[in-house]
Structure 1
Amino acid sequence: MTKVLLASSLILSSFSGLGADLTVEEQRIEKATQAMPQVMAAFKGDIKAFEKKWKKANSYQQAKDLVLDYSSQLWRDAKKRITTANNFDDRELYWARLLSSKVMRSSTPKFAISDTERSALLALLENGSRGRTDLEYTQGTTKKILLTGFDPFLLDKNINQSNPSGVAALLLDGQVISYEGIDAEINTVMIPVRYEDFDKGMIEELLAPYYALNNVDMVVTVSMGRTDFDLERFPGKRRSVTAPDNANIVYGGTQTAPKISSLNGRPLPGNEFVEFSLPVAYMQKAQGPYKINDNHEVTTLEQTFSPGSLSALKSAIAVNGGGGGYLSNEISYRSIRLRNELNSSIPTGHIHTPRIAQFEPETEEKIVKQIKAMLEQSLPAL
C-alpha cells in the first residue's frame, strides 16, 4: 500500500508549482489519491510516459497524433484491465483521464501552444478515452447495439464512488451476444456527468448519425438508479434536482420550478414527455437477482402518478421523468426526442441500474450480467 501511495504521489508531484487553472474534477485528484491510492496508480506508467512525450512535442500535429493514439489506447487498456483483473472497477479510467488532462493543462509542449489548440487536444483526449473514436461494428453480426454508461458522480460526497453503468460500458464494449440464433455486436461510450457537455449537444452529436441512417438496431442508455432495475418509460424534459454535476454546477431547477436545459445556446426543443421504445416484455425475461420494472411513474407540477400512456401527459409540465430530474433522465429524453425528430425506427430507452454504495464489485458483477441478459433477451424483438 505504501508503494502504491508513493507512486501516486509521484504523479501528483510533477504538477506542483505550475499554477495552472485546473478543473473542479482535476482538483479532486489529491483527495482521491489519499482515499484510494491503488486506483489512482493503475495507469501511472502510461501517464508518466505520456507526460514525457507531451512535453517533447514540437508541433501541434505531433501533439495531436500523440493525444489521438494515447486516448484510444487508454480506452482499450481500461477495457482490457477491467476484464483481466476481474475487479469490476470503472474508477481507474475516470481518474486516469483526469490525471492525463491535468498533464495537458499544467505543462507545456515545446511549441507555442494556443488556448484554442490546448482545448482541441483536451477534447481529443475526452473523445478517445470515452470510446467515441472506437465506434466501429466489425464482427458482421445480424444486429448492432449502442450502449452508453456514465462516469462516477457525487464525488464530493463519496470520492471513491463507482458507477455500475460505467462498469457495464467497459465490459460490454466489443462483445458479441447471441440468443435464439440471433447475434449482436455491442459498442459503448462513456458519458461525462456535466451539464455543460449536454447543453453543448454532446448526446445529439453522438447519436444523430445513427438515427439519421437507422444503422444500429437498439440504443440503450444506462445509469445508476434505485433499488432494482427500472426501464424508464416516460422521460421528462426538465431539470429539477439541486444535486451538482461533477463540475459542481447546480443548474437551478427545483421540484416546484423545473428548468428546461439548453441545446447549443437555445432552449431544448420538444414535448414535455416522450416515451421509450425498448422491448420491455422481452427484457423482463432476463434472469438475475433484481426485479426489472417497467417504470411509468412521473412527477408533473400537479401530481406524481403512473400514466398508462403518453397521451395522459399531453398538457402536463414535467418535473421528474421516469429517470428523475438529473442527467440520467436527460440522456434518455434527449436520445428519444432526437430519434423522433429524425423519424428513426431504432428502439431507444434507458435502463436504471440498482444503486451501489461507493464501490461494490460483487454487486456490480451481478448488475452487468443482468444487463447483458436483458440485451440478449431483447434480440428476437429487434
Structure 2
Amino acid sequence: MKNKSKLLVTSLALFLSANTYATSISLSVEEQRLTEQHKYDATLVNAKDLSDFAEQWLLVKDYTQAKQLLHTEGTRLWSEIKSQVKSHSRFDDRPLYWQRLAIKAHIKKQPLKFSETELASLLEVFENVSRGYADIDYRYNTAKQIFITGFDPFLLDKNIGQSNPSGLAAISLDGKVIELNGVKAEINAVIVPVRYEDFDNGEIESLLAPIYLGGNVDLVSTVSMGREHFDLERFPGKRRSVTAPDNLNVLSGGTKEAPIISKLAGETLSGDEFVEFSLPVTAMQKAKGKYQVIDNLKVVTLEKGELQPKLLAELDGQTAVSGGGGGYLSNEISYRSIRLQNQLGTKVPTGHIHTPRIKEFDNETNKAIVNQIEEMLKQAIAAI
C-alpha cells in the first residue's frame, strides 16, 4: 500500500513537471501554482482520483461524452469534499480548490481532439458544477430557506498554503438544516472564484438572479475572509480601489486615489455609489462564539475620507473609495448582490459577512469561525 501511494504521488509530480504537448492549451496562473502547491503539501490533490479521471478522459470520444464526464467529475468532487468536511475527516476547503485546478490542468495538457472553444465550454461545465452551482436545490420542507456564498483561497503567491474560512463555511453548511426555537431553515451554498474577469462577465448576477426571482429564499448572505472579528458590512461601495491582485494576478486597475467602476457584460456597472444591506443585524449579533459580531459602518469616500454614516442618505454625492467590505471582491460581491436585489424589486434580506482572518491554515480557528457563522444564521431565522 505504501509503495502504491508513493507511486501515485510520484506520478502526480511527473505530471506537474512534464513538458506540455504541442497541441496543449496554456495553463492559467492559478494552474501554474500547482507545482509550488505540490511542494508545500502533495495531499491537497488526490493523486488517485486524478489518475482515475485521466484514464476516463482518454476514453472520451466526443463532446457530449466529455461534457457528461466533466459534469459527473465536478459533482463527485463537490460531494466528496463536502462529505470530508461534514464528517470532519478533513475540515479543509483547500482540497476542493487544488483538485479542481489539477483536473483543469490535465484537460488542457491533454485536449484530445477538441478545439479551444470547445475546451473552454467543457472547463466551464466542470468549474461551475464543482463550485456547487448545479446543486442549488432546497430538498426539505423547512419554514425558511437561506443562500450563502463563500470564496476560494486567495493571495496564494504570498502564502501557498492559505485557506479561506468563507469557502469552508459554504462547504460545511451546504444542504444543512438549522433550527432555532422550533423554526427550521435549510441552507444552500456555493463557492465563487477570486477573479475580476468572472465578476465583470456577470457571474454573480447570473448566479443570484434565479435565487431572487425564485421567490422562495428568505435570506442571502455573501461571505468572505476579512479582519480581526466578524463584520456585517452595512454600506458596500461601487468601486475597486485595492492594488492587491486576484488569483490570476490581474490588478483591479483602481487605487485609493483613483478608484474605478467594474464592468457588467462589457458595460460600466450602473448604480449608486453606495448601497445598504438588509441583514437582521441585531439578531445576528446575538450569536455566541469566540468573536465579536460588528455592525460595520465604516466607508471611505474621495471627498471626505473615512466616514461612519448612520444612514445611507448621508453618503449622497460622495464617490466611493471603499465600502464597508473594502475595495476588493469581498466588497464587490456584496455591492452586486444588493444592487441586483434592488433592481429586481425583491425584499429578501441581503448582505455580507466578513469573517476573522486566518494565516495559512488553522483547523481550530476555522471550526470556531464556521460554528459562529452557523449561529448567526440561526439567530437570523426568527428575524426574517
Report the counterpart of residue 138 of structure 1 in structure 2: 139
Kindly indicate whether residue 93 of structure 2 is the aligned counterpart of residue 68 of structure 1.
no
Q: Which amino acid aligns with 2:266?
A: G
- 2:233 and 2:30 mapped to 1: Cα distance? 29
State whether residues 231 and 292 of structure 1, in contact with CA within 8 Å, keep that contact through their aligned partners in structure 2. yes
Instruction: Return the offset for 1:307.
Output: 0.3
Normalised to the residue count of structure 2, the TM-score between the two structures is 0.96
State whether residues 148 and 188 of structure 2, in contact with CA within 8 Å, keep that contact through their aligned partners in structure 1. yes
Report the counterpart of residue 276 of structure 2 in structure 1: 275
Q: Which amino acid aligns with 1:26?
A: E
RMSD: 1.4
Question: What do residues 181-239 of structure 1 show as CA deviations (whole Å, max 9, x unaligned)?
Answer: 11011000001000000000000000011222322000010000000000000000000
Instruction: Return the offset for 1:4.
Output: 6.4
Instruction: Return the offset for 1:346.
Output: 0.4
State whether residues 220 and 350 of structure 2, in contact with CA within 8 Å, keep that contact through their aligned partners in structure 1. yes
Q: Give runs of aligned pairs for residues 107-186 of structure 1, distance below 5 A.
A: 107-109=110-112, 112-186=113-187
Q: Give runs of aligned pairs for residues 282-301 of structure 1, distance below 5 A.
A: 282-301=283-302
The secondary structure found in structure 2 opposite 1:324 is: coil
Aligned length: 378
Report the counterpart of residue 347 of structure 2 in structure 1: 345
Instruction: Return the offset for 1:5.
Output: 7.2
State whether residues 146 and 218 of structure 1, in contact with CA within 8 Å, keep that contact through their aligned partners in structure 2. yes
In structure 2, the gaps of 5 or more residues are none
Report the counterpart of residue 318 of structure 1 in structure 2: 320
State whether residues 144 and 216 of structure 1, in contact with CA within 8 Å, keep that contact through their aligned partners in structure 2. yes
> 1:24/1:6 Cα in 2 relative to 1: closer, same or farther (>3 Å)?
farther
Kindly indicate whether residue 365 of structure 2 is the aligned counterpart of residue 360 of structure 1.
no
Report the counterpart of residue 105 of structure 1 in structure 2: 108
Kindly indicate whether residue 253 of structure 2 is the aligned counterpart of residue 248 of structure 1.
no
- 1:259 and 1:209 mapped to 2: Cα distance? 28
Report the counterpart of residue 27 of structure 2 in structure 1: 22
In structure 1, the gaps of 5 or more residues are none
State whether residues 233 and 295 of structure 1, in contact with CA within 8 Å, keep that contact through their aligned partners in structure 2. yes
Percent of residue pairs identical: 52
The secondary structure found in structure 1 opposite 2:161 is: coil
State whether residues 5 and 38 of structure 1, in contact with CA within 8 Å, keep that contact through their aligned partners in structure 2. no
> 1:227/1:95 Cα in 2 relative to 1: closer, same or farther (>3 Å)?
same
The secondary structure found in structure 1 opposite 2:283 is: helix
- 1:283 and 1:173 mapped to 2: Cα distance? 19
State whether residues 144 and 186 of structure 2, in contact with CA within 8 Å, keep that contact through their aligned partners in structure 1. yes
Instruction: Return the offset for 1:85.
Output: 3.8
- 2:52 and 2:357 mapped to 1: Cα distance? 36
Kindly indicate whether residue 52 of structure 2 is the aligned counterpart of residue 59 of structure 1.
no
Normalised to the residue count of structure 1, the TM-score between the two structures is 0.96
Kindly indicate whether residue 86 of structure 2 is the aligned counterpart of residue 83 of structure 1.
yes
- 2:6 and 2:158 mapped to 1: Cα distance? 22
Report the counterpart of residue 93 of structure 1 in structure 2: 96
State whether residues 8 and 33 of structure 1, in contact with CA within 8 Å, keep that contact through their aligned partners in structure 2. no
The secondary structure found in structure 1 opposite 2:189 is: strand
The secondary structure found in structure 1 opposite 2:186 is: strand
Report the counterpart of residue 335 of structure 1 in structure 2: 337
Q: Which amino acid aligns with 1:232?
A: E
> 1:9/1:244 Cα in 2 relative to 1: closer, same or farther (>3 Å)?
farther
State whether residues 55 and 108 of structure 1, in contact with CA within 8 Å, keep that contact through their aligned partners in structure 2. no
Q: Give runs of aligned pairs for residues 260-271 of structure 1, distance below 5 A.
A: 260-271=261-272
